[in-house]
A and B are shown apart, each in its own frame.
Chain A
Amino acid sequence: MSGPMTRQTEGNPDAREVVLAARNVAKSYGNVHALKGVNFDIHRGQVTTLFGENGAGKSTLMKILSGVIQPTTGQIILDGQPVSFANANEARDRGISIIHQELSLAPNLSVRDNIFMGRELRGPMGVDFAEEERQVRTLMEELEEEIDPLTPVEELRLGQQQIVEIARALSVDSRILIMDEPTSALSASEVEVLFKVIRDLTAKGVSIVYISHHLEEALTITDHAVVLRDGTMTAYAPRADIDLEWIVRNMVGENYDLGSPPDSDKGQVALSIRSLSVPDQTGQDLVHNLSLDVRAGEIVCIYGLMGAGRTELLETCAGRLKPTGGEIVLEGQEISHLPIAERIARGLALVPEDRQRDGLVQTMSVGQNLSLASIRNFTRGLFTSSRAERKLVDDSIRSVTVKTSGGSAPIGSLSGGNQQKVVIGKMLATNPRVIMLDEPSRGIDIGAKAEVFRLLAEGARQGLAVIYSTSEVSECLSIAHRIIVMHKGRISAEFDSTVSKEKIMAASGESVAA
């Protein structure tokens, strides 16, 4: 299972000097405990990889180490001395820099200006643009990327933007470099170059902290593995002692059960997607000529990596995006020309991926969020009936088991999992025939995840057609009757629920060897 080690380290990796350490670091956002007392070490000149599912707390920990956010409790120890960083600039001055998962570039500025943003080189005549440009060219040569320093970042494709982000972190000569999913938009050859750069850096004594969802890829580069689950560190070991199975076991947990496919009666085809194509702004297909039938009572899982086109497929069905071709047929009726409200009324509901951005209205209460999609159901004549609304809200809170003090509580007072249940409850309140959930488990803890899946299985038993997308293999092999793997806008494979995790990952193009 585990690939060959790609580089030999002198002696026992653990014996190397610890440059940065976290001691009992915890972080809470109101009721949400993102980190619950984590300890771990970063060794000089080595790669430490953090493994963990979405919402395990990896990004939070990295933001604490790089000074972007401050821990609620606990200590950061740099070179044996306790330190606290007020902001990312202070951490950068001490030699710690971070490449964020979300790109933090100014799209309107050139590559050069982005790389030197906030620390422009001063010359006698203001900013020394020539020197900046020269340094950027050197960096790009190192990264084997042909990007002109004067190109505006918005004209680059996503992978190149990620390279610029990496170049920016490299340009500050940091001793500790944190990379949060640096390869998610890179091609295989770009990943190879990045790994070569990482090896050069570690040879120079730079310590790397690496986060990736591509487990095998990460295993080829790392010296240490740290596994986080649910805000706590569950395992820590040097590379030589572990393999892929060890990581998955520790990431997912022993008694981690998301349920099994419900034995529901499969009815008629509820949603039929016929040769659907969806373009991006430049006209390239994000979803290409894709066809898929989902029957009533059936649960279909769509698995794919970032950029596989899952979100675009679901948002097109919901009516947010316009397709260039193809048909969307809901219970025998073509709906691709209808507005969103009409699709919801006919029984097609979407629970979007990003609940903060697309799912919730933060200024409204729990109850108002729950009833938002079904206002017509409690409107009598001109006015809404507050009694009918209260009933709908109370029923929803009960049926999706939202833990809240009541419908009038502010939505921000709920934990991530309960907020997600509110978004799901909102769409279930419209009495849909087909419900689509885009990464329903994103950023919620395992308990809430299991409850969400139980809810979906229950819906399927009552004849609801369920489609959910995920980037976690373990979530494919749970309640889904059928697993569709998407890769670059197409269906690359289709499995039943007995397939192995390895087959699913292989079909998604995930195990690209570096």
Chain B
Amino acid sequence: MSTSNLGAAGKLSSAGGKFPEPAAKLLSGWGRTSPTVARLHTPAEPSDVCSLARQAGERGLIARGLGRSYGDAAQNGGGDVVDMTRCDRIIDVNLAEGTATVEAGISLDRLMRTLVPLGLWPAVSPGTRYVTVGGAIGSDVHGKGHHRDGTFGSHVKSMDLYTPGLGRLTLTPDGTPEEFWATMGGMGLTGVVERATIELLRVETASVRVDSQRTADLDSTMAVMSERDSHYRYSVAWIDCLARGASLGRSIVEFGEHASVEDLPARRRSPERALRFDPPKQVGAPPWVPSGLLNRWSVAAFNELWYRKAPARSTGHVVAASSFFHPLDAVDGWNRIYGKRGFLQYQFVLPYSQSDVLRAVIERLVKARAASFLAVLKRFGPANPAPLSFPRQGWTLALDLPVSFSGLSGELDELDELVANAGGRVYLAKDSRLRPDLVEVMYPRLGEWLQVRDRLDPQAVMRSDLTRRLPALAGRAKPRRSGRTFELSALSEES
């Protein structure tokens, strides 16, 4: 969801100066909660980022892509925000090596429409194509293949990063491991990604062969996933989070593989047909929806219907890759169905040894009747070396919650504590309300990350509403500011 008339402006004439006058824009994340106003810049060239960063005001600067992070990671109230989506060129595709070099503002949607017909597929595809490559790096996104393929960052060969402290750096996992991995999942706080070279997967078709299985409760869901997912590239369980009692945790578990040409009917086996990637045109969600439309009755009815219509077990079902990977992309602006007050997504990961905590969290969410569409359960493979990357080995659960549900704040604060005490963590790219005191517990390598950040951005020019809401992410770096002093009496420091 773009906030400006991207693309239309093109390059600016000299009459307007090098940059257009930045517009004051109310920006929010995908959850549409806590909007703030910032000066929005829309550079046409990645190299413009350098001068924008130098001119940034007291409140710093952050890069923004397509605004798909749920919370406030790409907002910067009172400061500068650089919308990178005009920097969307494909610079080079190396068919021999299976890599592509692109500007950071390109969306995975555009990338896939270009590359899939060539038989190339991004090594990691998250639940939506409407993320930019820069955003995928900043959040170190994952997909249904994490147990096999790891995160997006594990397939980045190199990237150019503008850093306020050291200027433009070319980072690679072998040459500059500290800077490279601090940027993966670094929430945009080490600098602005200008371009990246990413690894691609070779595919024969734009289809996926899906096996699925309906499970009756949480134990069988977890057992099925644990037994079967090593045999598949992709796996995910859609949990009905309103089912209670003996049905708690009932799910549809899906496994997928890129389909081979032989999986397709004979008439679709020509390379052009097999690799045609043409997701349906988006249907728009209605612009205005009453806040209470999604309540526990309407959602329960939806979930029940959805669970009942799935077969107990099916194999070899071939579907368009877009409907397997990005089912919600078919509806433009689906986030609006939660009404004016918006919604949030709670996603956490727990080590495999803590499956009883996973059950306890699901039980509490069910008991609180926090209405939610299907929640997503997945097994993560090993973590990568990035200090702030979210995925670690274990179970991850993600669910959407309307914020109009009263008592949600206290309930989630308690769940945060359960998750943190069990060695788990909450995903910063989805977060909009984490308990600030638990950031360091959930991300124990934060100190190590801050040391690298202090090198790349000693004055903390890179800042966002996320760093204001969770000050632990800002560290102790002294932001640029004027030298006023006032008499204040601190009655007590920390309580």
A and B are partners in one complex rather than unrelated chains: no
B: residues with CB less than 8 A from A are none
A: residues with CB less than 8 A from B are none
